[in-house]
Every structure is written in structure tokens, then in C-alpha cells.
């Protein structure tokens, strides 16, 4: 089972390693909140950004982008657009450019770099030692970032912020008996691979050599994680309420976790 799992991972990561897409926006709609582009299929939830090229030598990122829906009949991808905050600097002026047709759309940026949230050192080493197609960011760097934020329980914005700082495109969560692959910025589930690697006493918030993560006195994210599986499953379900693959995975887990099934909204799903 382990060899089969690693074969699946190697195939997946080889695909992701070359997955960065450079496209051109065809049209803008919904007051600049959505755009369409002609392309081959892109998985919903894949994130990136819009780039404005002013001259051949000068360009700037002007918006965030997340793949929303792909129409296989017209081969058209719809993306959600929002303000780009990855390079925010309050002391400097910022441009007020709005995306328009012809701007460059980059998706799956830095998908060759990933961070693994694992329950034990053994599982962390088993996966990262075998999978060489991913440039792994050590979880100590994530733990240090969370300590700076005062959040021993990582929030979505913490994970996205860390990935921006570390130029990382993918997050991997080992939960139950599977590896869940998610986009760093949208936290959308892209892939779930059954693995069969067992653990009894998960380290919280995840395997790291950082002994303690500083916590704020109060506020969201300031409380320590009590249940590794429940916390990360809840975080993923919260950000993927329409994911059929995540629904099926949660449904396969013990009854204690199946309470999360009520949080899904799969109306209109096949």
C-alpha cells in the first residue's frame, strides 16, 4: 500500500511541478469581480494573480485570482478577482489599476513548493523523504510564523500569509489515513490520496521542532488545538462546503468526524 501511495504522489507532484499557467484574460464582468479566459480544464480553487504589463520591462500584480468554474463545452474558465494584498506596504503608495481584457493571468504559482502539516515526525519524514518533486518548506518555519502572529491554532489567513512570505503554492494535510492537497491561498481541496500511514498520538498543532507557539491573550486562533484531526477537518470543510471529494472523504471517517457532513452544501453537485 505504501508503494502504491508513493507512486500516486510522485505522479501527482510531477504534474503539479509543471502546472503554472500563463493565460490572457478574455473579458471582465460583475463590476470587475469576475473574469473569463479560454483554456484547458483548471481545477476550481486553483489560485494566482493578474499581472498588468506596462512595457516589456515593467509590470505589476494588480489583483488576486481564484478559479471558480470551468465550462467544458466552451472551454472557458471563470475566475474570481479580488484586491491583491500579498505585497502590502502601508508606507508606500499603491496603484489603482483594475483588471481588463488582455491582462496576464497566472495560476498555480509556486505549486512546486509545499508545506506538509503532519501529525508525527515519522509520517512527515516518510512523505518528504520519498517525494523529491516538491520543494518542502519545513514546518518549523510555519510554526515560527504562527508564533509571530500569536496563533497556535492556524487560521486560513495565517496559512495564506505564510505561503505568500515563503513563496509556497500548496499545503498538504495528513488526516486520518489520507493526504489532502490544498491550494495555499484559497484552501480549496485539490486532491485526496489514501495512504494508510497510521498514528496514535498526533502532535499539535502539527509536527514541528518548535517547542511552543506564542499565543495572544484572546481572539480567534489564540487557543491551542485539542484535537488534531477535528481541527484540520473543520478548517477544510469550512472552506470547501461544496467539495464532493472532501464530503466523500469525511463520510469514510469514524462517526465522530461525520458530524461535519451537515456543514456541506452539495446542491446541484453530480
Give the tens place of pLDDT for each residue, 131-175: 888 999 999 999 999 999 999 999 999 999 999 999 999 999 999
Q: Name the β-bridge partners of 116.
A: 172
If asked whether residues 131 and 155 sit together in one domain, one would say yes
Average pLDDT over residues 23-31: 95
Q: What is the pLDDT of residue 15?
A: 47
Cα dihedral 27/242/43/109 (nearest 10)? 80
In this prediction, residue 255 has a pLDDT band, given cuts at 50, 70 and 90, of confident
Cell numbers at residue 99, please?
A: 483588471
Task: State yes or no: pLDDT of 207 exceeds 50.
Answer: yes
Cell numbers at 210, concatenated: 518548535
Please tell me the distance from the alpha carbon of residue 265 to that of residue 11, in angstroms, as a whole number.
31
For residue 10, is pLDDT > 60?
no
The reply to whether 249 and 210 lie within a common domain is: yes
Helices 228-239 and 244-251 cross at an angle (nearest 10°) of 150
pLDDT at site 258: 82
User: How high does pLDDT run on average in the chain?
Assistant: 90
Q: Are residues 251 and 185 in the same domain?
A: yes
Per-residue DSSP letters for 233-266? HHHHHHH-TT-HHHHHHHHTS-HHHHGGGGG---
**Same domain (yes/no): 173, 159:** yes
CA angle, 13 then 231 then 142, to 5°: 55
Q: What is the mean pLDDT of residues 97-109?
A: 95
pLDDT reported for residue 156: 97
pLDDT, average across residues 181-197: 93
Name the DSSP class of 32. T
With respect to residue 269, please indicate whether it lies within any of the assigned structural domains: no
In a domain, 268, yes or no: no
Q: 122 and 87: one domain? A: no
Residue 43's domain comprises 21-107
56: pLDDT strictly greater than 80? yes
**207 and 119, same structural domain?**
yes
Q: Quick check: helix, strand or coil at residue 87?
A: coil
| Among 107, 133, 165, residue at a domain's last position | 107
210 & 166 share domain: yes
Kindly state whether residues 35 and 55 are assigned to the same domain: yes
For the chain, the domain total comes to 2
**What number is the average pLDDT over the span 221-249?**
95
Residue 96: pLDDT band with limits 50, 70, 90: confident
Together in a domain, 70 and 181: no
Per-residue confidence at 19, pLDDT binned at 50, 70, 90? low
Q: Predicted confidence band at 93 (pLDDT cuts at 50, 70, 90)?
A: low
φ/ψ (deg, to 5) at 221: 90, -5
pLDDT at 114 over 90: yes
Is the distance from CB of 41 to CB of 70 less than 8 angstroms?
A: yes
Is the pLDDT assigned to residue 231 strictly greater than 80?
yes
pLDDT band, very low/low/confident/very high, at 254 (cuts 50, 70, 90): confident
Output the pLDDT for position 206. 97
pLDDT at 88: 67
| Phi, psi torsion values for 65, nearest 5 degrees | -145, 140
Q: Are residues 31 and 133 in the same domain?
A: no
In the predicted model, is pLDDT for residue 89 greater than 70?
A: no
Amino acid at each position: 500500500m505504501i508503494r502504491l501511495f508513493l507512486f500516486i504522489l510522485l505522479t501527482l507532484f510531477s504534474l503539479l511541478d509543471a502546472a503554472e499557467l500563463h493565460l490572457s484574460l478574455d473579458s471582465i464582468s460583475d463590476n470587475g469581480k469576475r473574469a473569463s479566459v479560454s483554456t484547458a480544464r483548471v481545477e476550481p480553487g486553483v489560485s494566482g494573480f493578474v499581472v498588468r504589463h506596462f512595457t516589456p520591462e515593467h509590470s505589476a500584480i494588480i489583483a488576486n485570482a481564484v478559479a471558480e468554474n470551468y465550462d467544458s463545452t466552451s472551454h472557458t474558465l471563470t475566475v474570481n478577482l479580488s484586491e491583491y494584498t500579498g505585497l502590502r506596504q502601508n508606507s508606500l503608495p499603491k496603484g489603482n489599476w483594475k483588471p481588463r481584457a488582455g491582462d496576464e493571468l497566472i495560476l498555480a504559482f509556486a505549486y512546486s513548493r509545499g508545506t506538509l502539516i503532519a501529525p508525527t515526525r515519522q509520517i512527515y519524514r516518510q512523505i518528504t523523504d520519498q517525494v523529491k518533486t516538491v520543494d518542502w518548506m519545513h514546518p518549523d518555519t510555519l510554526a515560527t510564523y504562527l508564533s509571530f502572529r500569536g496563533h497556535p491554532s492556524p487560521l486560513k489567513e495565517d496559512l495564506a500569509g505564510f505561503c505568500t512570505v515563503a513563496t509556497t503554492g500548496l499545503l498538504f494535510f495528513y488526516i486520518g489515513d489520507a493526504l489532502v492537497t490544498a491550494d495555499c491561498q484559497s484552501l480549496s481541496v485539490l486532491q485526496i490520496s489514501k495512504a494508510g500511514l497510521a498514528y496514535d498520538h498526533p502532535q499539535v498543532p502539527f509536527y514541528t521542532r518548535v517547542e511552543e507557539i506564542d499565543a495572544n491573550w484572546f481572539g480567534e486562533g489564540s487557543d491551542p488545538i485539542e484535537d488534531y484531526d477535528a481541527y484540520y477537518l473543520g478548517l477544510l470543510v469550512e472552506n470547501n462546503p461544496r467539495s464532493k471529494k472532501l464530503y466523500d472523504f469525511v463520510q469514510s471517517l469514524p462517526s465522530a468526524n461525520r458530524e461535519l457532513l451537515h456543514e456541506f452544501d452539495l446542491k446541484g453537485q453530480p
